[in-house]
Amino acid sequence: MDILDLMELIKKGEDSRTQFKERFSGPSALAAEICAFVNSQGGKILVGVTDQGDVAGLSPEEVHRLNQWISNVCSQHIDPPVNALTENVLFSERIVVVITVPLGKNKFYMANGKDIWVKVGADKRRARREEIQRLLQESGNLYAEEMPVEESDMLDLDLNFFKEFYRRRTNESIDSLEITLDALLANVRLLKDGKCTLAGLLLFGKKPEEKRPAFIIKAISFTGNDPTGVLYRDSRDLTGNIAGLFLSGMAFLKNNLRMVQGKQGFNSVGRLEIPEVALEEALINALLHRNHFLASNIRLFVFDDRVEIISPGSLPNTLRVENIKHGIHVERNPIMASLVRDIPEIPYRGAGTGIQRIIRICKEAGIVVEFINEEEGEQFKVIFFRGVHQ
């Protein structure tokens, strides 16, 4: 990094990936900062820069001591150890040490033998229980869909629905198998220790909302374009298993959008103003790839100028919007993604091309679509603008 790069970074200010520190009081404070970065998305710590962005700099002796601390902290004060890189940048006879912290691949990381820190904007705080679960999920050590749902059992599942699903998937009848139904459900990870897993409840549950009230769809058609407005045309809480949510979600969207004539004849019923396939892809993604460690609803908001499909949880791991536009995807809920392909009500194939399909279809229809990954807000939005917008 040269002086121009440093000044450009300082000029942008602090955020979730850039931190200014005039000095560190000791190794413990340094460990807490590095831990917060490695548990989040990684980033840079600029030591020798004040909170206001002024370059105070460090003396050669302070630089030497800081580098010793960094080496010791990364190997001894953070568990598991991390590998941070340092650069010394000379600025008007003053030295700024730039510490580059990688995104952690083996989350969660603990500092000083007791604290698990995460970034919240430019600040940090100790991780809460559900955040620790999400950190484990990001590293592939824990999946919410595999966890048993308390006070549930096999009778909470629609067993006839599952039997038909199994017959369609394998061309075999469950009754012909030399295995009990509960053992089969456990084998496909829909049952665990006699309780429904979250995947089992959401895919085949009779009334999943009774056990997990947050996992519904909030659907509102607003009057105007303000989500804080109090006037609406239609408002519903959609419940049921994933297949039911998909069908009722699509019905809500179609009921609250216009049919347009386009190039069709006068006697034609027309076509939906936003391509139905694009809406299907976005809704399926919200249902299958949401973060189930967040007790929050999927939301379908219809405004006068746009439609928003909002899914709890930002993109997992290192994914960015540009990645998913090129077909790169990471399965957050691999059990559900695998099994849902054989549920005929849901047109899902799991090829990772859904976002590309949305972009292509909307472009052909003259509809502008945006994808917004809100890391700090922990949600992902797909926004379809109604009509042609340049």
Question: Residue 131 — very low, low, confident or very high, per pLDDT cuts 50/70/90?
Answer: confident
Both 138 and 153 in one domain: the answer is no
Cβ proximity of 78 and 111 under 8 Å = yes
pLDDT over threshold 70, residue 164: yes
Which pLDDT belongs to residue 390?
Answer: 34
> The domain spanning residue 39 has which CATH number?
3.30.950
Residue 227: other Cβ atoms inside 10 A:
12
Both 194 and 225 in one domain: the answer is no
Residue 390 lies in a domain: no
Which pLDDT belongs to residue 315?
Answer: 85
The number of distinct structural domains making up the chain is 3
Both 234 and 125 in one domain: the answer is no
Determine the distance from the C-alpha atom of residue 275 to the mean position of all C-alpha atoms in its chain, rounded to a whole number: 25
Both 167 and 314 in one domain: the answer is no
Both 267 and 138 in one domain: the answer is no
- Of 142, 167, 196, which one is at a domain's C-terminal end? 142
Residue 265: other Cβ atoms inside 10 A:
7
Residue 322 lies in a domain: yes
- Of 160, 187, 208, which one is at a domain's C-terminal end? 208
What mean pLDDT is predicted for residues 37-43? 91
Both 193 and 253 in one domain: the answer is no
Q: Which of 348, 342, 343, 338 is nearest to 285 (CA)?
A: 348
What mean pLDDT is predicted for residues 6-23? 92
> The domain spanning residue 255 has which CATH number?
3.30.565.60
Both 371 and 244 in one domain: the answer is yes
- Of 89, 107, 142, which one is at a domain's C-terminal end? 142
Both 35 and 96 in one domain: the answer is yes
Condensed to tens digits (0 to 9), the pLDDT of residues 251-277 reads 999 999 998 866 665 555 678 999 999
Which pLDDT belongs to residue 140?
Answer: 65
- Residue 186 in tokens: 């456990």
Residue 353 lies in a domain: yes
Residue 93 lies in a domain: yes
Which pLDDT belongs to residue 388?
Answer: 46
Both 100 and 197 in one domain: the answer is no
Both 22 and 90 in one domain: the answer is yes
**Residues contacting 212, CB < 8 A, separation 6+:** 149, 198, 201, 202
What mean pLDDT is predicted for residues 345-358? 85
Question: Residue 317 — very low, low, confident or very high, per pLDDT cuts 50/70/90?
Answer: low
To the nearest whole percent, how much of the chain has pLDDT over 70?
95
Both 245 and 378 in one domain: the answer is yes
In sequence order, the β-bridge partners of residue 78 are: 111
Both 11 and 108 in one domain: the answer is yes
Task: For tokens 């990688």, name the residue.
Answer: 102
pTM: 0.71
What is the extent of the structural domain holding 7? 3-142
